[in-house]
Amino acid sequence: MKEINLWNKVVPIIIITFMTNLNIISAQSMKEERITMLVTFNVKKDQKEAFKKLLITDKNGALKEKGNISMQLFEHRDKPNTFYFFERWENQNALDVHFTKKYTKDVLDLSETALTKPMEILYLHDVSPLPKSELKTPLTSDTPVDLVVIFKVKDGMQKTFIDQFKKSIVHSRREQGNIEFFLHTVHGDDTKFVLFERWRSQDALDFHFAQPYTQELFEMFKSALEQPIDEYLNFINEIGYVKRGGK
């Protein structure tokens, strides 16, 4: 009678079961991860005011949602028809709920006809995240200066870029004039990075630019970036800042 090796049958079953459970756990973990997004809208001139009104309503509604961490609306300083949402959500479920809201659907519906090109949504991963309790907001005495920088890094220079930035993040956040300083990788494009920074005043930003660790960044940019740094800088102005109670 031929001997049957049960082990050869059992091992594949164990492996398949393990991988299935691992995939379930991975999917669940992704659902629980904080979601950070940068959404860019390029609006037709004759649709600007109507679209801007919907964006403000969407932002104000999002700030009341339980799963929202922050929702900021900005207008490009030099391109007045370009708007940005910089938003953070507790997890994917919170974002899914947001997309069911009427004020969000109104923005999406008007986007189909009011934009010069499709909105761009970048899903971001924070390189050096902070807990919600450590997120800072502008003071009433501030005249904030805000920047979003969308870098395109030469392939092969990603590690150098991130390592240099990590040093700068530590120092920059300690500056008295800093409100936010966050570098993000972009899902689906390992050569694209997004820096979001907020300063209490122009003087605070000028002080930051003069620091040795910032000068080291600019030196690194010369060899790491696809284009000169000026091509990536976007100065932005926040629209309708709302202080959240208890946060």
Are residues 184 and 125 in contact, defined by beta-carbon separation less than 8 angstroms?
yes
pLDDT tens digits for 111-150? 999 999 999 999 999 999 998 889 898 999 999 999 999 9
Q: What is the DSSP letter of 154?
A: P
Residue 60 has pLDDT above 80, yes or no: yes
Instruction: Classify strands 145-152 and 189-199 as parallel, antiparallel or unpaired.
Output: antiparallel
Mean pLDDT calculated for residue range 151-164: 97
Res 24: pLDDT: 37
Cβ-based neighbours of 190, under 8 Å, separated by 6 or more: 158
Are residues 123 and 35 in contact, defined by beta-carbon separation less than 8 angstroms?
yes
Tell if the pTM clears 0.85, that is, is over it.
no
pLDDT tens digits for 24-55? 333 444 457 899 999 999 999 999 999 999 99
pLDDT tens digits for 96-114? 999 999 999 999 999 999 9
Please report, for residues 75, 139, 239, the alpha-carbon distance to residue 180 in angstroms, rounded to integers and kept in the order given.
18, 13, 17
Cβ-based neighbours of 23, under 8 Å, separated by 6 or more: none
Cα angle, residue 77 at apex, residues 74 and 82 outer, rounded to 5°: 60
Q: How far apart are CA 142 and CA 138, in angstroms?
A: 6
Alpha helical stretches, state H, 127-227: 158-174, 202-209, 212-224
